[in-house]
Amino acid sequence: ETIINENAILHPAPTRSSLKDKKFAQQMRQLNVAKHKRKIKEAKEAQNTAVTVKDAGVKVIKTTFIAVKKAVTALPSLVWAGIGLILLLVIALFIGVFSAFSSSSVILPGTASLSEEVLAHTETIEKYAKQYDIEDYVTILQAIMMQESGGKGNDPMQASESGFNVKYPRVPNGITDPEYSIEVGVKTFANCIKQAKVKDPFDTEKLYLALQGYNYGNGYISWAITNFGGYSKANAQLFSDMQKQKLGTNVYGDPDYVDNVMRYVGLGFGNVRGEPNFENMKAWGMNNYYSQFGLFGQCTWFAWGRFYEIYGYSPGFTGDGTQCVDQLVAAHPDKFVKSNTPKAGAVFSGVGHNHVGIVIAWDGTNITIQEGNLDGRTNTFQEAKTDWQTKTYTLPQLNSIYKGVVFANPK
């Protein structure tokens, strides 16, 4: 039985004394400077994109009016109705071309849920993700499976036609072993990540390239990089059209594959079983409610940041640890429900102790949690990055430590 040291986990009221610390002040300045530089960079990129689209649009408009002028000059005998028809056709052409210049993929992550069948394959996905060194992409792999098959059938990753399939016929649904399908699918996606040079799950521009490559094959990845510098929804459609013409078919892949996969992925792209990524400043920096008050290292700061990493949005709690579950459920009643038994991905509040943490695993008996504020004080950001733990208890043990716990479970 786990020996529990209750004295090691004390959570007194937050202190503001560290705000006077010189080292802390320097850290705050560094965070603000980094945030300011990032905003300037994003503003410049947005401005450059707007200028590029504008220039392209102006060029197309000029071309349009030249075409209209030539049409009118060359056909003086046309009646006005005919000229009007020409104008309508040219304007339609202009709208289509301008849309091609300005279009970008509208990704709406996290708008749909994974099926029970996909969730049942999680351990196998994690096994091969670790084997092929893409452990950080488990949630993406789950979303791929959801889009491919919903987790059903003997080829849940629809990987039969992959070049890495060496055991079964390379025809649709040729694989008849679900675990082998997952292995081949994970290996295929790992190769796509390598070809697209994806840095991490937050490198979305290249992640989308890798995803479309999983659907089309690696040939798309090199083609998109060579001709367009990367993925776009427009060139995904173009590649599909080219392949249909080349192969003489009516269908080739799914030009909307990225959107269709990403709807199953939360904005945070977080793996609930993973560890905190303290480089993600949206989770741990000034977006974090508790960071704004310098409460680095507090259990509330840790739970807020970890929640944002996993789900990609604010949990909505702003109080102490005992209030977090109620505030989360009140902020997101469509996504979370209060309960006395946990689920993976839940937030828990200590009823008898002022504490909050994240549930990362639950098997019906044992509960694994992540929590911060082990030293019982507010820290600098650098210190706070080490002031947390992952630990497993039985549910009665956890209740005993915190004199009762309640959970905000994902629906």
Q: Which residues of 12-46 are buried (b: 16+ CB within 10 A; e: fewer)?
A: eebeeebeeeeebeebbeebeeeeeeeeeeeeeee
Least confident of 44-53, 204-213, 280-289, 304-313: 44-53
* Per-residue pLDDT at 218: 79
- Read off the pLDDT band of 222 (50, 70, 90): very high
% of the chain exceeding 70 in pLDDT: 71
Higher pLDDT, 111 or 328: 328
Residues 6+ apart with CB under 8 A from 168: 160, 174, 175, 176, 177, 180
Tell me the average pLDDT across 218-224.
Answer: 93
Tell me the average pLDDT across 152-176.
Answer: 95
* Per-residue pLDDT at 409: 93
Tell me the average pLDDT across 321-345.
Answer: 94
* Per-residue pLDDT at 48: 54
* Per-residue pLDDT at 26: 54
Tell me the average pLDDT across 228-238.
Answer: 95
Q: Which residues of 299-330 are buried (b: 16+ CB within 10 A; e: fewer)?
A: bbbbbbbbbbbbbbebbbbbebbbbbbebbbe
- Read off the pLDDT band of 181 (50, 70, 90): very high
Q: Are 212 and 262 in contact (CB under 8 A)?
A: no
Residues in the chain, total: 411
Q: What is the pairing mode between strands 355-362 and 347-350?
A: antiparallel
Cα gap 291→295, rounded to integer Å: 6
User: Considering only CA atoms, which of 278, 311, 285, 310 is closest in space to residue 387?
Assistant: 278
Cα gap 2→366, rounded to integer Å: 11
Radius of gyration of the chain (CA): 27
How far is C-alpha 115 from the chain's CA centre? Answer: 18
Cα gap 28→32, rounded to integer Å: 6
Q: What is the pLDDT of residues 45-74, one digit of tens each?
A: 555 544 444 454 444 434 444 443 444 444
Q: Are 300 and 317 in contact (CB under 8 A)?
A: yes
Least confident of 110-124, 130-144, 223-237, 354-368: 110-124
* Per-residue pLDDT at 61: 39
* Per-residue pLDDT at 113: 76
Q: Is the pLDDT of residue 363 over 50?
A: yes
Tell me the average pLDDT across 383-388.
Answer: 95
* Per-residue pLDDT at 242: 96
Tell me the average pLDDT across 278-288.
Answer: 89
Q: Encoding tokens for residue 10? A: 């004390």
Tell me which residue has tokens 């290249």: 206
